[in-house]
Amino acid sequence: MTARPAAPSLFLAVATLLATQASAGDYAAFQPIGFSSDGNVFAFEEYGVQDGSGFPYSTIYVIDTRNDTFMPGSPVRAVGREDGAPLHRTRHEAHRRAAPLIDAYRLADQPGLLAAYNPITEANATPLALTYDAFAADEAFRETYGLALEEKSFDPGPLCKDFLKDVKGFRLSMTLKAGKAASEVLQDDERVPESRRCPTGYRIGGAVTHRNDDGTQTHIIMVLVKSLGFEGTTDGRWIAVPTRMAQ
């Protein structure tokens, strides 16, 4: 028996679903892993499913917060390239590979606090500013911090010049420090690293805080990098900007 052709409405529904899936963009989630007890090392994971290929991925970054550099052996990456590879298996593999670094600094013992989260799914959020209290406390004892991000334009490099008129860098400033007005620059790009691929914009994504052994605090400002993705869609990846607060 010959199968009947599917109804036009079914073809339309399937085509619409595939088009939606293919053009949704690829915005990685992030998960803080933790700090060393002295606050000098911080790790986080970003993970998701690649737009286009459908491959699950997980990357674990282990950062020296004193000079904002990767620790030796970081980043640790895993990509599930088999058909139907599940995301949880890829994440497990990334954690397995990163375990020597995580264990060496006992990062899982000091998770810190996700003091603020400003996800792209929050419709009423302000993407270029964030105000947060460093730690949970009664109102009279809170230490409030404020951030502002300004995008900057740069000429595109060889990788991006055929697709974009300019690429974006950023300047990140602390405008409020422990409740007092401030104007402290945390990062001011003078160039755009190739690792950001072809960045088109940024968003302050959150703040992770930690009380260190010596009474100081380490704050990690999470910035979402939006870059040119599959077939003109947008990819979202994370970078961490560390800063230390005196006692």
Q: Parallel, antiparallel, or unpaired for β 129-133 and 29-35?
A: unpaired
Alpha-carbon dihedral sign for residues 37, 40, 45, 46: positive
Distance CA 125, CA 110 (A): 29
* pLDDT tens for each residue of 19-70: 344 457 899 999 999 999 999 999 999 999 998 888 999 999 999 999 999 9
Distance CA 196, CA 152 (A): 14
DSSP letter for each residue of 46-65: EEEE-TTT--EEEEEEEEET
Positions in the chain whose pLDDT score sits under 50: 1-22
Distance CA 234, CA 32 (A): 23
What pLDDT score was predicted for residue 23?
Answer: 53
What pLDDT score was predicted for residue 94?
Answer: 98
Distance CA 173, CA 195 (A): 22
What pLDDT score was predicted for residue 18?
Answer: 39
